[in-house]
């Protein structure tokens, strides 16, 4: 028959290498024959104020209850977010209710966007005992302000989404859905060296400009881009061939 280190001696329980029978499956009700202890999922959902330090939950049970992968659980232990987890004689990890309570709080901190560095800072302060209450409080107060700011931003974004959904649903004025009229590109006008649109062409509707460009491509151009009339009408004459002098012809014949 296997033995479990008594929960009363918590420090010894953390150092002991005990062989513990696997706990009940995650999400299943406790068996009265098991001493009335709660399942892994129940402990994670509602941890006690003074959790049991008896190592009895397997890593698969903890992963199913917390939603974390076994790799993440090992990584939490390796970087120090979790205290060293007890193991059986065969090297299998056994988590206690206290470990589940720590994981529950860390998951909520992570859900609110706290960085791993701040989580590690909080855990290190918690290990130092009651003397760090003020520092822990300051850390949580600062993080709470950041969470409130993100909530305010999300509420503002949600209000914009609700407004657009109401417009597309027909509960708002449909004229608000009209796009602004097309006009000259303000970004192009601000660029250095950009040429402004011709005043006459700027007054024409877009359809008229397109029709004019299709019928008279030259008229649709900017006046500065058109060629000079003299250049357009004056043909370029070919240069007459050069004649050879008699002296050069005699030299070549010789």
Helices 70-79/59-66 angle, 10° precision: 100
| Residue where a domain stops, chosen among 111, 139, 154 | 111
In the predicted model, what is the mean pLDDT of the chain?
A: 74
CA distances from 48 to 43, 44, 98, 110, 129 (A): 7, 9, 9, 21, 19
Q: What are phi and psi of 95, to 5 degrees?
A: -95, 145
Mean pLDDT to the nearest integer, 115-121: 96
Q: Could you tell me if residue 145 is inside a domain? A: yes
Mean pLDDT to the nearest integer, 79-98: 94
CA distance 25 to 61: 7
Q: Could you tell me if residue 203 is inside a domain? A: no
- Whether residues 12 and 97 fall in one domain: yes
| Residue where a domain stops, chosen among 137, 156, 172 | 172
Q: Could you tell me if residue 23 is inside a domain? A: yes
| Residue where a domain stops, chosen among 172, 192, 221 | 172
Q: Could you tell me which of 187, 199, 192, 204 has the C-alpha nearest to residue 223? A: 199
- Whether residues 90 and 124 fall in one domain: no
Do 121 and 143 touch, CB atoms closer than 8 A?
A: no
CA distance 211 to 200: 15
The whole domain housing 91 covers: 1-111
Q: Could you tell me if residue 65 is inside a domain? A: yes
CA distance 63 to 58: 9
**Overall domain count for the chain:** 2
**Confidence tier at 185 by pLDDT (50, 70, 90):** low
Q: Could you tell me if residue 225 is inside a domain? A: no
CA distance 117 to 125: 12
- Whether residues 90 and 142 fall in one domain: no
Instruction: Give the pLDDT score at 47.
Output: 87
Q: Which ranges of the chain does DSSP label H, i.e. alpha helix?
A: 10-15, 40-45, 59-66, 70-79, 97-111, 116-127, 133-169, 186-190, 199-203, 206-215, 229-233, 246-253
CATH number at residue 98: 1.10.1660.10
**Confidence tier at 37 by pLDDT (50, 70, 90):** confident
pLDDT at 100 over 90: yes
pLDDT at 65 over 60: yes
Mean pLDDT to the nearest integer, 71-88: 95
pTM for the model: 0.54
Exposure string over 158-175, b if 16+ CB within 10 A, otherwise e: eeeeeeeeeeeeeeeeee
- Whether residues 12 and 65 fall in one domain: yes
Question: How confident is the model over 196-243, as pLDDT tens digits?
Answer: 555 555 555 566 566 656 665 555 455 555 555 544 455 556 666 666
Tokens 């994981």 correspond to 103
């Amino acid at each position: 028959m296997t033995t479990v280190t008594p929960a009363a001696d918590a420090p010894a329980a953390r150092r002991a290498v005990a062989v513990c029978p696997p706990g009940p499956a995650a999400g299943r009700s406790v068996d009265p024959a098991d001493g009335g202890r709660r399942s892994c999922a129940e402990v994670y959902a509602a941890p006690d104020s003074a959790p049991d330090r008896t190592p009895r939950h397997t890593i698969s049970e903890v992963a199913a209850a917390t939603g974390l992968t076994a790799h993440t659980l090992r990584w939490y232990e390796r970087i120090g977010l979790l205290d060293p987890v007890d193991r059986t004689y065969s090297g299998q990890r056994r988590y206690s209710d206290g470990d589940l309570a720590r994981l529950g709080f860390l998951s909520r901190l992570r859900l609110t966007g706290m960085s791993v560095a701040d989580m590690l800072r909080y855990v290190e302060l918690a290990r130092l005992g009651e003397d760090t209450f003020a520092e822990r409080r300051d850390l949580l107060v600062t993080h709470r302000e950041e969470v409130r700011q993100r909530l305010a931003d999300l509420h503002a974004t949600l209000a914009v989404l609700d407004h657009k959904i109401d417009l597309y649903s027909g509960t708002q004025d449909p004229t608000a859905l009209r796009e602004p009229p097309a006009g000259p590109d303000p970004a192009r006008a601000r660029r250095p060296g950009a040429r402004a649109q011709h005043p006459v062409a700027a007054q024409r509707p877009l359809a008229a400009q397109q029709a004019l460009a299709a019928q008279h491509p030259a008229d649709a151009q900017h006046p500065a881009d058109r060629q000079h009339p003299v250049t357009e009408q004056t043909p370029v004459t070919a240069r007459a061939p050069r004649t050879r002098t008699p002296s050069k012809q005699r030299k070549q014949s010789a």
